[in-house]
Amino acid sequence: MREFLSKIIQTPRLLTPPRHIMQQLPELEVIGSALQDNVRRLFKGSLAIRQIDTGSDNATEQELAALTNAYYDIERFGIHFVPSPRHADMLLVTGPVTRNMAEALKRAYDATPHPKLVVAVGDDAIDGGIYKGSYAVLDGVSQVIPVDYQIAGDPPSPLVIMQSLLAILDGAKKAPKQKGQS
């Protein structure tokens, strides 16, 4: 035990952040403040997102979870993940739609109040990805519910997701309102 403690004490502490992370920081702040401005303007302060996994390999979910960690901290920009589609403004759907998740996805879509945005995140959600054509899946999300936007990638990184959300909100800001929307 003494040898182990001695080794711990003698080991230098060299904590240097990787260069690519330090280069992303200014871009992250710029994207985040632009996102925050759009969220305040369009959603009166906060954007509620319901993430739905329809049969993915969890790679995209890990990237979405990273959005809430201390580095990205997307909640400081007014974007929150909610547990119920009844409280959501946007549905982020990941993974190819498996046959047993199709009905659950339809119900979540129906439970989300209007106006709602539906975003297919990742190649699997867009067209089925590597699972396309399998007997177990119905391919992309658009085969089951209408999709407004797509975020490509296998999986897309948290920064790409934030950039895409900014583009989506910019598009939503410029898009004319449809009948029945407020």
Write the single-letter amino acid at 23: Q
Number of residues assigned to the chain: 182
| Single pTM value for the model | 0.79
Q: For 31-66, how does the pLDDT look when each residue is reduced to its tens digit (9 = 90+)?
A: 888 888 888 888 888 899 999 999 988 999 999 999
pLDDT of residue 182: 40
Of the pLDDT bands very low, low, confident and very high (cuts 50, 70, 90), residue 175 is low
DSSP assignment, residue 98? B
| 148, 118 contact by CB (below 8 A) | yes
Across the range 113-121, mean pLDDT stands at 93
| For residue 23, pLDDT beyond 90 | no
Q: What is the pLDDT of residue 178?
A: 47
pLDDT of residue 181: 45
CB 96 within 8 Å of CB 138? yes
Q: How far apart are CA 164 and CA 156, in angstroms?
A: 10
pLDDT of residue 145: 95
SS3 108: helix
Residue 179 binned pLDDT confidence (cut-offs 50, 70, 90): very low
Task: List, as own/partner pairs, every contact residues 131-137 make where C-beta atoms lie below 8 angstroms and the sequence separation is at least 24, other chains included.
Answer: 131/55, 131/96, 132/96, 134/96, 136/55, 136/98, 136/99, 137/55, 137/96, 137/97, 137/98, 137/99
20-34, 49-63, 108-122: segment of lowest average pLDDT: 20-34
Interval 148-173: pLDDT, tens = 999 998 889 998 998 898 888 887 76
Cα–Cα distance measured from residue 172 to residue 179, given in angstroms and rounded to the nearest whole number: 15
